[in-house]
Each structure stands twice: as structure tokens, then as C-alpha cells.
A and B are shown apart, each in its own frame.
Chain A
Amino acid sequence: MSTNPTESADSSNVTTDARAGDRKTALGKAAGFVSAAAVLTVVVIVANATDHPSFAKGALIGGVIALLAMGFLWWRGARGGAAAHLVSGTADERERRLFRDAAADAAIAMMIAAVGGAVWSLFGAESIAVLAIVLWAGLLTWLISLAIRARRG
């Protein structure tokens, strides 16, 4: 049980943990956006400083796409689906559970990919390639799992 209901007899006043993000402000969203942009900037700077321009370019493109997707989902807000609700902080308990379960699937996939990558590295694979596989395994598994779980209800 993540939250407690209020003691009000009026169900319309009962506060479940659903839609808890309704109280989130535009300032909070802006802070999240700026934080994500800052992380992206640091990654790109570090990649360039360590002479990995290809990595930096990929991170920049992927990061900008992610930020644009985040902005789109914020814009959709309550009118959108589960993803828009989550990004906007208005996801209810079922939607948050969908994301949590999908994240658990992604974590398992990343562990398996990490083991596979470790073995692959014994055969001379570059660390950056192993890292990319682990990240992609997590991302793709999360997206696929989420789509399947959302369809199943």
C-alpha cells in the first residue's frame, strides 16, 4: 500500500495515490527538462573530451529525440495515454504499475545482456560496444514490455 486514503466519507475527496502528480508544477517540469538537458550536455562534452566523437554524436541525437519526446508527452498531458500521464506526473496506480513491471523486465534483460557482453568482451569486444548493447537491451525490452502490458490491461 503506497498511500493512505483520507478518512472522508465523500469518495470524491478520497485521495488515492492516483493522479498524485496533479500537484506538480510547471516549475517542476522545467527542472526535469533542464536536468535531462544538463546530463545530456555532460555526456556529450565528456565523450568529445575523451576522443569519442561518434559516441558524442549518437548521444546528442538520441538525447535530443528523448527531450523532444518528453516535451511532446508533457504537452499531451492528461489527454494522452499512459506514457503522457507518467511523464506529466498524472499516472494512476495501474499506469505506474505498468511502468514498474516493464522496468523490472528491462532490468532482467540488461543483466542478461551484461553477462553476454562480458563473455563477448573475452573475445575482444570493445567496452563501448558492450555498453551500447546493455543499454539497447534495456530500452527495447522496456518499450516492448510496456506495449504488451498496456495492451493486456
Chain B
Amino acid sequence: MNNDLRELREVRGLSQASLADALGVSRQTINSIETGKYDPSLPLAIAIARHFQTTIEEIFHVD
């Protein structure tokens, strides 16, 4: 699954660590999501979407 998390984060000037803190996960988890190595659970995907005030579909795309 592809995602636009890195672009969204960088547009807002957030570091991986600060986003991780805001979402309550580790920085490594943010990195793994951004690089497509890890697909987040639905609760975490919802949290990410809410954090960026958008929808899950706008961030995550099926290959």
C-alpha cells in the first residue's frame, strides 16, 4: 500500500519524531509507514488522518 505521509509531514514542517510523539508511536514506526514497510492498523490510520485533518483515502492508496 502506498501513502503520502512523508509529503504531508514535510509540508507541515514536522519531523518524524514530532509526528511520532503526537501519534503515540515510535519514530521507527513512522519511518516504516512512510517507506511502505509497515501498514498501520485502522485505529492508527484514523489517528494519522485526523492529525492531518483529512481522510484515510487521501493518505493511503492501494497499489
Contact = CB atoms under 8 A, between A and B. Distances in A.
Interface of A: 1-5, 9-12, 14-19, 81-82, 85, 92-95, 152-153
Contacts of A152: 37
A15 B52 CA distance: 16
Contacts, number: 72
Given A94-B29, A153-B31, A16 B37 contact: no
Given A3-B43, A95-B29, A16 B35 contact: no
The 7 A-B pairs of least Cβ separation, nearest first, read A153-B37, A11-B51, A11-B50, A92-B25, A14-B47, A153-B32, A5-B43
B6 to A, nearest CB: 14
Interface string B8-30: 00000000000000111110110
B50 A14 contact: yes
B25 A16 contact: yes
Interface string B33-51: 0010110111110111011
B46 A5 contact: yes
Given A93-B29, A94-B26, A95-B29, A1 B41 contact: yes
Given A93-B29, A94-B29, A153-B35, A16 B22 contact: no
A4 B40 CA distance: 14
Nearest to B47: A14
Nearest to A1: B42
B60 to A, nearest CB: 15
A94 B43 contact: no
27 contacts: A1-B41, A1-B43, A9-B50, A11-B47, A11-B48, A12-B22, A12-B51, A14-B23, A14-B46, A15-B24, A16-B23, A16-B47, A17-B41, A18-B23, A18-B24, A18-B25, A82-B26, A82-B28, A92-B25, A92-B29, A93-B25, A94-B26, A94-B40, A152-B37, A153-B28, A153-B31, A153-B35
